[in-house]
Homo-oligomer: A and B are copies of this chain.
Amino acid sequence: MNVGLVMIGDEVLIGQIINRNAAWIADVVTASGGRVIEHCTVADDAQQLIATIDRLRAECDVLLLTGGLGPTHDDITKPVLADYFNDTMEVSHQWMEHLHDWMKQRGRTVTDRNAGQALKPTTARLLPNPIGTAPGLLFDRDGIVIVAMPGVPKEMQGIMSDHVMPLLRDRIQREAIETTEYLTLLTTGIAESNLADAIGDPTQFLGVSTLAFLPNYHGVRMRIGARGASAEQRREELFRVRDILMGKAGKYVFGEGDTTLASVIGSILKERGQTLATAESCTGGLLGSMLTDVYGSSSWFVGGYVPYANEAKVRDLGVLEHTLEMYGAVSEQTAKELSEGTKHRTGATYAISITGVAGPGGGMPEKPVGTVWISVAGPLRTVTLKYQFGSDRRINRERSAGAALGMLWRMIR
């Protein structure tokens, strides 16, 4: 089943917002065995939208559209699709009732602006929106399925999960077509080209499978793609390639799929009844935010400090004033006192500290921008390492948090 994605909206087109919907949709469609063949972002423009639908329907069985269904004047998707299918508009009494309930719960009444959300093209099926006021629309006619959904991520996701994916999964199973399944191995602590060299020439063992290296600021992912007519064949092929990759670079692999290093660390700590605390200077809370993004983190994350000012390092975490004077805040000594002081103060099993020059300014000859000291204090030892990142503040912060998690993982795995 070939699926095309169309994002509608000037705000995406001109770069005002990052298109996160495409990745979310492509991921769930791919995981269900659908084949995403193109993403296309177009303007709030009827002609361009129609031309795109016409072009993509030649190759797609399903088109998933997001955006342009809101209550304001710049939302064109519904009238364009009604025109496209020569439909007229009718009121959905069921959705009108829902709108009244929705507004009532919030102490508001249905305005004319909102009432327009209950209008639908006659041949479209209305897909209830579990969160917002704009429902989705599904056309299944003339040899193609076209689904229009709001651009607000949670609303689109609710409609996809509740209504669209069950339909697609059903069709994919009925067709039982040959498809590709993916498995991703997640690594930390090795650069892309070194990983590629460790793996060697992949054509030697890939066969009908594919392998891609996907670097980001936290590590390099290896994505295996296996083709096969049955789910079993694909699984078997995935495991075959995975075993080979694990044999060559398994010591860098911390997990599979869409887990995170924070989540893997949390599972290990939870199982052992151990805990973690943090002290972040240049990352300012980013590491704590990543850790607490994991649901249930309160069972192993006891808390963190962002001792941005030097006084806070001394007052809360026992860093010696002498150390700050002698070596500076960005130094091995301060990093070590920070991690050990945090461990001591919180009673956590492990404590991580990060202190560095995030940039873009603030560098010195002996401590250029991108210099970051990270320290992990554990029950048996403290490990403190220096990293030299680049000149971009945001990337340096992301990399620092990623490197800190990598250091902790290597200590506890």
**Which A residues are within 8 Å of any B CB, using their own CB?**
7, 10-20, 22-30, 36-44, 48, 55, 70-74, 111, 113-114, 131, 152, 154, 182, 184, 192-193, 196-197, 201-203, 210-216, 221, 223, 225, 278, 280, 282-289, 291-293, 295-298, 301-309, 311-312, 315-316, 345-346, 358-361, 390, 392-395, 397
Q: With A15-B24, A15-B26, A36-B14 known to touch, is A308 a contact of B292 (CB < 8 Å)?
A: yes
Which residues of chain B are near A395, meaning CB under 8 Å? Answer: 154
- Residue from B223, B306, B359 in contact with A288 in the complex, judged by beta carbons closer than 8 Å: B306
Q: How far is the CA of A393 from the CA of B309 in the complex (A)?
A: 30
Asked if B210 and A74 make an inter-chain contact with CB atoms under 8 angstroms apart, the answer reads yes
Counting chain B CB atoms within 10 Å of each CB, the highest count among A74, A152, A285, A361 belongs to A285
- Minimum Cβ distance to chain B for residue A350 (Å): 14
- Residue from B197, B214, B303 in contact with A312 in the complex, judged by beta carbons closer than 8 Å: B303
Q: How far is the CA of A193 from the CA of B108 in the complex (A)?
A: 11
Q: How far is the CA of A397 from the CA of B291 in the complex (A)?
A: 13
Asked if A295 and B360 make an inter-chain contact with CB atoms under 8 angstroms apart, the answer reads yes
Q: With A11-B212, A196-B72 known to touch, is A292 a contact of B284 (CB < 8 Å)?
A: yes
Asked if A216 and B71 make an inter-chain contact with CB atoms under 8 angstroms apart, the answer reads no
Which residues of chain B are near A360, meaning CB under 8 Å? Answer: 295
Q: How far is the CA of A71 from the CA of B13 in the complex (A)?
A: 30
Asked if A284 and B291 make an inter-chain contact with CB atoms under 8 angstroms apart, the answer reads yes
Q: How far is the CA of A287 from the CA of B289 in the complex (A)?
A: 9
